[in-house]
C-alpha cells in the first residue's frame, strides 16, 4: 500500500515474457489423500521485475503485494497484478501483471500501460495493483498512482485498465478518482457483479478505497470507461475515525458488501436472546462492515444508497514484527448461500506476541459469529500467522491462506527465523472448523532479500487467494538469494541486494483414491528482463522460440545455489 493516482493514455503495446515450465517426472512414493482435501499441484514463478532500468530510489528486482483473480468461465485463465520496483518511502516504479491460460503451468509477464513516467504515464509512482474478472473475459486492473515530488507531491488518483481478452492485452488508463489538490487516496480494491438473476446489474464494476477518514465506492456500467460519482460507505456518513482497506464482495442477491478496518466502532447490532451468532461489539471494534442494500438494482448513473454499517469484532491483533506495517483483512461470499466470511490476523486466542489467522462469518452482513481460529498449534509458541486471505468454492468449502514465521519472546529480530512459509487450510462445514494445513510453497522466503519500505522489511500488507472450478490459486511475493555467490546482508535495507518475485501455487481437490505426488515448479532463477531477444521469442509463441528460451533459462538455473535449486526443481 501507499498513497495517491490519474489520466488518459492510448493503448500501449507491452512486451510479454513467457515463463515456460520444464517439469520433471515426479519421484518418490505417492501417498493416498483423503477425498475432498486440498492437494498442491504446482508452484511457479509468475511475476517479476521486467523493467530494463530503474531510477532514483526504486529497488531493483522487487515485486510486492500481489493480487489474483480467476476467469469464472475458464478456471485455467488467471491474472495477477503486483508492484514492480518498490520505493522505500512508498509506492513503486510501476505495476506489472502476469497471465496464465493453462492453469498456472506457464505465465506471460508484462507491464500495465500508462501509469507512471517512463512507462506511458505522467505520475511519479504507482501502487496497490488489484485484479477482478468479469464473466466475458473482461479483466479489470485497478491501481493507485500518485506524485511524491512532482507538484509538491499533492496529487493522487485511482485508475483502471481493462482487458477484453482474459489479460493478454490491456486498454488505456481511465480515471476513477483524481485529486489534484491533495487528499490521500489509498488501498483500492475491485469486484465485478457477475450475477444474472434479479437484483443484479450484470457486469457492473465496483472500485472501493479509503481517503483519509472515509471509505468510498464508485462503479462503472461500461467496462470501466466511465465512473459514477462516489458513494460514501464510512466516516462521511457521520461515524468518527479512519477506515482503511474496504474489501468488496457482491452477494448472491446483488447487494454490495465491504469489510474494512476502522479506528472507531460503527453502531452495534443487538441480537435476539438465544441467537447463535456472537454479540456484535461496540466501542473498540476495528473490524467493520458496510452493506449497500439493493446496489445491483440501482439504475446506471445513480449513486448507491446509504450503506448500513455494523461492527464485526474488536480487533486485538499484535503488530507483525520485523516488518514495516501490519496486514489487512480479506473477505469472500458463498455464491450459493450468501454467507460472508471475513479473515484477519489477531491475537484473540494468543497468550504471546504472535497472531493467528482468524475468521468470522455472517448470513446477513450485520450480525457476526465469534472468531474461529483457522490455523492449528499452540497459542504460546511465538509462531506468527499473518496476511490471511479467503476464497469460497461453489460447493461451500472455504479456503484460507496465511503466511507463517517462527519468532521468539525476544524483541531482537535476530532471534527470529529468516524463513517465511505460506499455508492453506480448508473448511468443509462452512467455516466452523478447518482441516490440516497444506504448505503451498516448495521452499520458504528468505527475509534478508525482501523489499524494504519506510525502514523495514516489506513482505506486503496482503496476499490473495482465488478459486474457480476445482482449482485454488495462491499468490504471494517470495524473496531469496539470487545466486550462490550472493552474500546475505548483515542489515538488510533499501539499498542492499534484493530478489523478490511473485509466485503462484495451484491447489487441487483430492478425489477418492487420489495419490499425492510431489508438485512441479518452474526451473528458472532470476527474473528474465524483457530484452529484444526474449521479447521476440515470447511474441512468436512458437515451439522453437519456447525451446530456445527454455534452454537459456535451464542454463541459468544450473548456476543457482543448492538452496535455490531445491526450490525450483521438481521433487
| Phi, psi torsion values for 387, nearest 5 degrees | 55, 50
Quote the pLDDT of residue 268: 54
Beta bridge mates, 477: 502
Whole-Å CA distances, 530 to 22, 129, 538: 20, 20, 9
Share of the chain above pLDDT 90, in %: 64
Which strands make up the sheet holding 205-211, listed edge to edge? 185-192, 205-211, 214-220, 231-234
Q: Does the residue 276 lie in any domain?
A: no
> pLDDT tens, 343-354?
999 999 999 999
Is 493 within the bounds of a domain?
yes
User: In this structure, is residue 279 part of a structural domain?
Assistant: no
Residue 394 belongs to a domain:
yes
Per-residue model confidence (pLDDT) at position 549: 38
Asked whether residue 67 is domain-assigned, the answer is yes
pLDDT digits (tens, 9 = 90+) for 516-545: 555 655 433 333 333 322 222 233 233 333
29-38, 217-226, 311-320, 511-520: lowest mean pLDDT where?
511-520
Is 260 within the bounds of a domain?
no
Give the helix/strand (H/E) hosting 362: strand 356-362
| pLDDT for 285 | 53
pLDDT at 557 > cutoff 70: no
DSSP letter string, 209-251: EEETTEEEEEEESSTTSS-PPPEEEESTTS--S-EEEEEEEE-
Compare 566 and 243 and report the one with higher pLDDT. Answer: 243
- Domain total of the chain: 1
CATH of the domain at 323: 2.120.10
pLDDT digits (tens, 9 = 90+) for 300-341: 999 999 899 888 988 888 988 888 766 899 999 999 999 999
Q: Assess whether pLDDT exceeds 80 at residue 193.
A: yes
Distances (CA, A) of 282 to 263, 287, 372: 12, 10, 19
| pLDDT at residue 446, as a whole number | 95
Domain membership flag for residue 452? yes
Q: How confident is the model at residue 244 (pLDDT cuts 50, 70, 90)?
A: confident
d(CA 504, CA 500): 13
Q: Is it the case that residue 267 has pLDDT exceeding 80?
A: no
Instruction: Decide if 491 is inside a domain.
Output: yes
Q: What is the average pLDDT across 157-186?
A: 92
| Alpha carbons within 13 A on the beta-carbon side of 340 | 27
How far apart, in whole angstroms, are the C-alpha atoms of residue 460 and residue 502? 12
* Domain limits for position 29: 17-183+316-507+514-568
Distance, first Cα to last Cα, the chain: 35
Give mean pLDDT, residues 400-425: 94
Residue by residue, what is the 3-state secondary structure of 481-507?
CCCCCCCCCCCCCCCCCCCEEEEEEEE
What residues form DSSP beta bridges with 310?
289
Per-residue pLDDT at 28 exceeds 70? no
Query: What pLDDT, on the 0 to 100 scale, is given for residue 478?
Result: 96
Rg (CA), the chain: 22
Amino acid at each position: 500500500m501507499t498513497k495517491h493516482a490519474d489520466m488518459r493514455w492510448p493503448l500501449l503495446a507491452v512486451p510479454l515474457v513467457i515463463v515456460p515450465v520444464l517439469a520433471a517426472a515426479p519421484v518418490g512414493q505417492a501417498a493416498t489423500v483423503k477425498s475432498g482435501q486440498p492437494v498442491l499441484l504446482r508452484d511457479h514463478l509468475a511475476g517479476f521485475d521486467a523493467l530494463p532500468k530503474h531510477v532514483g530510489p526504486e529497488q531493483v528486482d522487487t515485486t510486492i503485494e500481489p493480487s489474483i483473480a480467476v476467469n469464472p468461465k475458464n478456471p485455467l485463465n488467471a491474472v495477477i497484478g503486483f508492484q514492480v520496483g518498490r520505493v522505500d518511502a512508498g509506492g513503486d516504479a510501476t505495476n506489472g501483471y502476469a497471465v496464465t491460460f493453462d492453469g498456472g503451468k506457464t505465465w506471460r509477464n508484462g507491464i500495465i500501460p500508462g501509469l507512471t513516467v517512463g512507462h506511458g504515464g505522467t505520475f511519479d509512482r504507482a501502487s496497490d495493483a488489484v485484479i477482478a474478472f468479469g464473466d466475458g473475459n473482461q479483466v479489470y486492473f485497478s491501481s493507485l498512482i500518485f506524485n511524491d515530488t512532482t507538484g509538491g507531491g499533492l496529487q493522487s488518483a485511482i485508475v483502471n485498465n481493462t482487458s477484453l481478452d482474459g489479460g493478454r492485452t490491456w486498454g488505456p488508463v481511465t480515471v476513477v478518482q483524481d485529486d489534484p489538490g491533495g487528499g490521500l487516496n489509498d488501498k483500492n480494491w475491485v469486484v465485478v457483479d457477475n450475477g444474472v438473476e434479479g437484483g443484479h446489474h450484470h457486469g457492473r464494476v465496483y472500485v472501493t478505497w479509503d481517503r483519509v477518514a472515509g471509505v468510498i465506492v464508485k462503479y462503472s456500467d461500461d467496462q470501466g470507461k466511465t465512473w459514477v460519482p462516489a458513494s460514501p460507505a464510512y466516516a462521511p456518513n457521520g461515524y468518527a475515525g479512519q477506515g482503511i482497506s474496504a474489501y468488496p464482495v457482491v452477494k448472491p442477491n446483488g447487494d454490495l458488501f465491504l469489510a474494512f478496518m476502522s479506528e472507531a466502532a460503527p453502531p452495534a447490532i443487538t441480537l435476539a436472546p438465544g441467537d447463535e451468532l456472537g454479540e456484535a461489539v461496540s466501542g473498540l471494534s476495528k473490524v467493520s462492515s458496510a452493506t449497500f442494500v439493493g446496489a445491483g438494482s440501482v439504475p446506471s448513473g445513480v449513486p448507491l444508497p446509504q450503506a448500513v454499517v455494523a461492527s464485526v469484532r474488536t480487533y486485538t491483533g499484535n503488530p507483525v514484527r520485523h516488518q514495516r506495517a501490519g496486514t489487512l483483512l480479506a473477505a469472500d461470499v458463498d455464491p450459493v448461500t450468501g454467507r460472508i466470511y471475513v479473515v484477519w490476523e489477531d491475537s484473540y486466542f494468543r497468550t504471546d506476541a504472535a497472531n493467528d489467522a482468524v475468521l468470522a462469518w455472517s448470513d446477513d452482513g450485520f450480525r457476526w459469529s465469534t472468531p474461529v481460529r483457522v490455523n492449528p498449534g499452540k497459542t504460546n509458541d511465538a509462531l506468527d500467522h499473518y496476511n490471511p486471505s479467503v476464497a469460497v468454492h461453489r460447493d461451500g468449502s472455504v479456503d484460507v491462506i496465511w503466511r507463517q514465521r517462527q519468532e521468539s519472546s525476544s524483541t531482537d529480530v535476530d532471534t527470529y527465523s529468516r524463513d517465511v512459509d505460506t499455508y492453506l487450510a480448508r473448511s468443509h462445514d462452512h467455516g466452523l472448523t478447518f482441516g490440516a494445513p497444506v504448505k503451498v510453497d516448495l521452499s520458504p522466503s528468505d527475509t534478508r532479500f525482501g523489499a524494504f519500505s519506510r525502514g523495514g522489511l516489506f513482505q506486503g500488507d496482503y496476499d490473495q487467494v482465488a478459486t474457480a472450478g476445482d482449482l485454488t490459486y495462491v499468490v504471494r511475493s517470495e524473496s531469496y538469494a539470487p545466486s550462490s555467490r550472493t552474500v546475505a546482508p548483515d542489515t538488510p535495507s533499501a539499498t542492499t541486494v534484493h530478489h523478490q518475485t511473485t509466485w503462484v501455487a495451484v491447489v487441487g481437490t483430492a478425489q477418492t483414491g487420489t495419490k499425492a505426488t510431489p508438485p512441479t515448479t518452474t526451473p528458472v532463477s532470476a527474473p528474465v528482463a524483457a530484452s529484444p531477444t526474449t521479447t521476440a521469442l515470447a511474441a512468436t509463441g512458437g515451439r522453437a522460440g519456447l525451446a530456445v528460451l527454455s534452454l537459456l533459462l535451464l542454463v541459468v538455473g544450473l548456476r543457482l545455489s543448492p538452496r535455490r535449486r531445491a526450490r525450483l526443481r521438481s521433487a
